[in-house]
Every structure is written in structure tokens, then in C-alpha cells.
Structure 1
Amino acid sequence: MKTWFLSVALFASLVSMAQVDTTTPPYQRYPTLPPLQLLLTDSVTQYTKADLPKKKNVLVMLFSPDCEHCQHEAGEIVANAEGFRDIQIVMVSTYPLYRITEFAETYGLSKMENVVMTKDPNYLLISFYAVRSLPFMALYNKKGNLITVGYGNVAIDKILSLFNSQK
């Protein structure tokens, strides 16, 4: 009987410690725009959620200046600038600010008034979105609610149709 109780106690303690990581990414638990704490390319100005234009769709794109898929996606955004005119685009990288600025100039993003180039100095968005690959895009409607997320190259037509379906 003593060994039976000991066996049950040992089994219960092992089962209670056997945990499976079933946590969902924060963006799925909180499907609204996260509190942004970004740095503009002037290296001084903070860019926060309060700086976003009100009642405007938002595209948050995490990118790397070295990523070929990111370069292609940036080129496609610029080529379809007219379709994005009513969408605020927040480009976010963890690279040095001079690399972010070079990227914006090389691909023509700096000419688009609705594009903001930023750095995430605290690496908060990577963990918030559980980013696995770049480019990563999060689409939000005018109310700040998540529409969807996309990894890698996402067709521009698909992005625009998702935003247009929110009208």
C-alpha cells in the first residue's frame, strides 16, 4: 500500500510538470494594433500608436534590408503606390538606421507620404508577432483590428483586396 501511494504521488508530480507549450502568439490573443515603441530614422523621434493617422487602414511590415523577398515586396508596394494611398504603411526593422534609410531611398519608399520607416530598438514586434520569416505583414482595419498576417511574399492584389473588403 505504501508503494502504491508513493507511485501515485510520483506519477502525479511528474504529470503536473509535463507541460506542452500551447501558448498562442500575443497578436492572436490581442488582435488590435500593439502599442508601438519605434524610432524614426532621424534617431531621435519616437513613433507610437498615437502617431498613426486616425480612421486609416494600417500595414505593419517587418523587414530586413538584406532580404531579397523584402526588397521585392517594397518594389511592388512602390509600383502600386496608388492602391496604397489610403493605407498607412509602417516599415519596421531592427537594422541600423542608416541601413533603413538606404533601403527606403533605394526602393522609392521615401517618396511615398504614407510610408514611415522605423526601427524597433527593443525587438518588441518580433516577439509580439512571433515572426518566423521576413517580410512579415500585419494588416489592420480603420478601427485598429487585425485583418490578417502574412509571411514572405504576399501578392499585392491580395493585400489590397483584403483592405478593400473592410470598407
Structure 2
Amino acid sequence: MKKTNLIILLVVLLGGATYMGYLSQIGTPATAAPVSAPSELPDFTLNDINGKATSIHEVAGEKPTLFIYFNSTCHLCQEELGELSKRIEEFKDYSIILTTVQPLDEMIDFATGLGIKEKNNVHFLLDTNMEVASFLQIRSVPSIYCYDADKQLVAEYVGITKIDLLLEKLGG
């Protein structure tokens, strides 16, 4: 009986330690994923928040570009974009393109809530037909891509990523 209790106790302790290790990883910054996205910023034409057909390359211009594929109901996306919006002034020299497949009214509500909808360098684009999602092979959100001024991929992340790391990659 004591031997059985000891085995059960060891299994519970080992399981608990494993679970605690897992919990400690939740919310940690994402690490750079192996670069698997196409090496150049895609140039699809998508509707912006006002319903205007807009080229991704056109809104990126000749600036380093932060491209984020998100879903406003995703708590990780809410956290990531909330942190980004708090430090939006630090991104004034970069283009920011936020893309989703969500209905337009949900995207507008989310953009309004972030308080960055009216920033000249921030562009919300709707990927209605999931063209960009398919092209980039989006598997999880937020999916974050940093491109240089030549529209070449510098870094790719999935999940919550430290704002300082994004600024570092964009400033390259």
C-alpha cells in the first residue's frame, strides 16, 4: 500500500512539475521562427477599413514594414496589438499593416478600440478571400512579419512578441 501511494505521489509531483513548466511558458515572448514565409512582402490588393481597394505595396511605401495577421477575438492578438498601440509613436517611421479575415464591422470596432485607426502609417486591410493567409500559410495568430524598406523579410514571429524586438528588427 505504501509503495502504491509513493508511486502515485511521484506521478502527481512529476505531472505537476511538467504542468507548471508549461504554464511558465505561456505569455513568454515569441522567438524567431525559422523563416518560412516568402522572402518578399506580398502585394495583394485588399479592401481597407473604408472599403477602398488598396495594394499592400502601396501602403508599405518605401519604409520598413510591420505586417501582422490577427483576429480581434484572439486574446494573444488583443494583447500584442494593445501593447503596440501603447507604443505607436515609436513606429512613426515604419509602415504598419494589420490584416484579418474578420467581417469589416468587427475590424472597425477593434481598430477603433485600439485608438490607432487614424494614424497615417497604420493600415487595416481585410483579407476576405484569405489570399494573404494562404500565401503566407498562416497557421496561428498573431503572425508577425518584419520587412525592410526593400520589402524583404527580416524576421517572422508567431504569438506574442516583445515590442522592443520588433523595433530592433525594423530598424535593422
TM-score > 0.5, shorter chain as reference: yes
Select which of 32, 43, 68 maps to 1:35.
43
5+ unaligned residues in a row in structure 1: which ranges?
1-26
Gaps in structure 2 of 5+ consecutive residues: 1-34
CA displacement at 1:73 relative to structure 2: 1.1
**CA distance in structure 1 between the aligned counterparts of 2:75 and 2:57, rounded to whole angstroms:** 32
> Secondary structure at 2:149's aligned position in 1?
coil
What is the match of residue 114 of structure 2?
107
Q: How does 1:1-167 map to 2 (within 5 A)?
A: 28=36, 30-43=38-51, 45-165=52-172
CA distance in 1, matches of 2:123, 2:59: 10
CA distance in 1, matches of 2:57, 2:63: 13
Q: What is the rounded CA distance, in whole Å, between the counterparts of 1:29 and 1:92 in structure 2?
A: 16
Aligned residues: 138
The Cα shift of 1:50 comes to 4.3
- Greater Rg by CA: 1
Q: Deviations over 1:57-78 (max 9, x none)?
A: 1111111110111111111111
Partners of 1:71 and 1:107 within 8 A in 2: no
Give the TM-score normalised by the residue count of structure 2: 0.75
Tell me if structure 1 keeps the 8 A contact 2:66–2:96.
yes
Moved more, 138-147 or 119-128: 119-128
Secondary structure of the structure 2 residue equivalent to 1:77: helix
Secondary structure, in 3 states, of the residue corresponding to 1:147? Answer: strand
